[in-house]
Chains A and B, each alone.
Chain A
Amino acid sequence: DTAVSQTPKYLVTQMGNDKSIKCEQNLGHDTMYWYKQDSKKFLKIMFSYNNKELIINETVPNRFSPKSPDKAHLNLHINSLELGDSAVYFCASRAGTVYNEQFFGPGTRLTVL
Chain B
Amino acid sequence: ELKVEQNPLFLSMQEGKNYTIYCNYSTTSDRLYWYRQDPGKSLESLFVLLSNGAVKQEGRLMASLDTKARLSTLHITAAVHDLSATYFCAADIFGNEKLTFGTGTRLTIIP
Contacts and interface: CB of A to CB of B under 8 A. Distances in A.
A31 B95 CA distance: 13
Nearest to A50: B97
Which of B37, B44, B90 is the most central at the interface, judged by chain A CB atoms within 10 Å of its CB?
B37
Given A98-B50, A99-B48, A99-B50, A104 B97 contact: no
Contacts of B88: 43
B50 A102 contact: no
Interface string B81-111: 0000010101010000111110110100000
Interface residues of B, number: 23
A48 B98 contact: yes
Contacts, number: 53
Contacts of A41: 37, 86, 103-104, 106
A103 B97 contact: no
A48 B45 CA distance: 19
Contacts of B100: 45
A31 B43 contact: no
Contacts of A100: 31, 48, 92, 97
Contacts of A94: 97
Interface in A34-85: 40-45, 48, 55-56, 58
A103 B31 CA distance: 15
Interface string B24-36: 0000000101010
A88 to B, nearest CB: 9
Given A41-B86, A56-B98, A103 B45 contact: yes
Interface of A: 31, 33, 40-45, 48, 55-56, 58, 90, 94, 98-107
Given A40-B103, A55-B97, 7 more contacts: A99-B31, A99-B50, A101-B48, A103-B45, A104-B35, A106-B41, A107-B42
